[in-house]
Amino acid sequence: MNSSTSTPSAPERPRLVVLRGDDLPPGHERIDDHPGLGEVVYATADELAAKLPGADALLVWDLFTEALSAAWPKADSLRWVHAATTGVDNLMFPGLVESDVAVTNSRGVFDEHIAEYVLGLVISFAKDFHRTWGYQNERLWKHRETERVAGRRALVVGTGPIGRAIARKLQAVGMEVRASGSHARDGDPDFGSVAESSLAERADGGGRTLHGELPEADYVVVAAPLTESTRGLVDRRFLDLMKPTARLINVARGPIVVQSDLVAALDRDAIAGAALDVFEREPLKAVSPLWGLPGSLVSPHMSGDVIGWREDLLELFLDNLARYLDGRELRNVVDKSRGYVPG
């Protein structure tokens, strides 16, 4: 298995395939007219297998497609795949993982966007905005007391750039922030103390695992990549360790949370609320109880999508394309054995 691929050398005037979604990338003419490229071909998911042969590079603009896995046998000359998203779980199928094809992602584009969104959710929960808007629609004057944000503790699950940006935003309003990552450590510049991402209870009674941290958190923010170790991490055991007044926020990937376990936890008031921007299957079906459960806040996978985000994705790709054509080191090279960019 070639988990971390060195910078591939580009042939003269390489052929690029763009796996598009419903829309073309904004300013796609900058790709079409790029002087260093040969043929530029746009393909939908259904067309990819027919257009992939002979391609040297692939831009996956269709953010959540799994079309490359089905078309992989046609990838006869592929050297580099760039994903216009941070999460690349949809690309981590055995054929690509075990190949010498380099994979890069769009790490860095969404960090501050998502951090702002999480801060907004925390404030919305604490200040009871959802009920204020509901009462306003009913023209009902109902005075309530709300909660402080400063002094509350947040636990961020995931120590990558998005998790770090979230930590800085929450600390800026006076929250105490801890984190869980692949291994426990102290002295982290953004989190201070990092607990190990394990639900196992330590024999020495220490609180350096999720088992010890979850009961102390007022907000648990999931910002980890979807890997084999995080799939289904937030299950009944996880939720039962949270205190009844705590809220869960997931801005990572839907399958990290066992949705049926979360529904049950909200239904029995095991936790106070959950804000979900991602789901096991998207779009969330209208019959899902998550739409109407008290304390549930549903948004359609939009936490990182601010005005201009598509243009930012294109700029990052064009920078990496210039690096590829020049034989320079690529940005955001994914360690395919881990499923994310390390560091």
Residues with active-site annotation: 253, 282, 301
CB burial of 29-63 (b: ≥16 within 10 Å; e: otherwise) equals eebeebeebeebbbbebebbbebbebbbbbbbbbb
Task: For Cα atoms 289, 294, 299, give the angle at the middle one, nearest 5 degrees.
Answer: 65
Q: ∠ CA 176-122-213 to the nearest 5 degrees?
A: 40
DSSP string, 52-78: -TT-SEEEE-STT--HHHHHGGG-SS-
At 244, which amino acid appears?
A: P
Q: Would you mind telling me the total number of residues written for the chain in this entry?
A: 343
CA–CA distance, 309 with 316 (Å, rounded to integer) = 11
Q: Which helix (H) or strand (E) holds 259?
A: helix 259-267
How do beta strands 192-196 and 185-188 pair? antiparallel
- Give burial (CB, 10 Å; 0-12/13-18/19+) of 307: exposed
Both structure tokens of 249: 């926020």
300 Cβ contact partners less than 8 Å away, ≥ 6 residues apart: 277, 282, 283, 284
The answer to whether the beta carbons of residues 41 and 84 sit under 8 Å apart is no
Q: Which amino acid is at 26?
A: P
Q: Which of 68, 75, 56, 65 is nearest to 16 (CA)?
A: 56
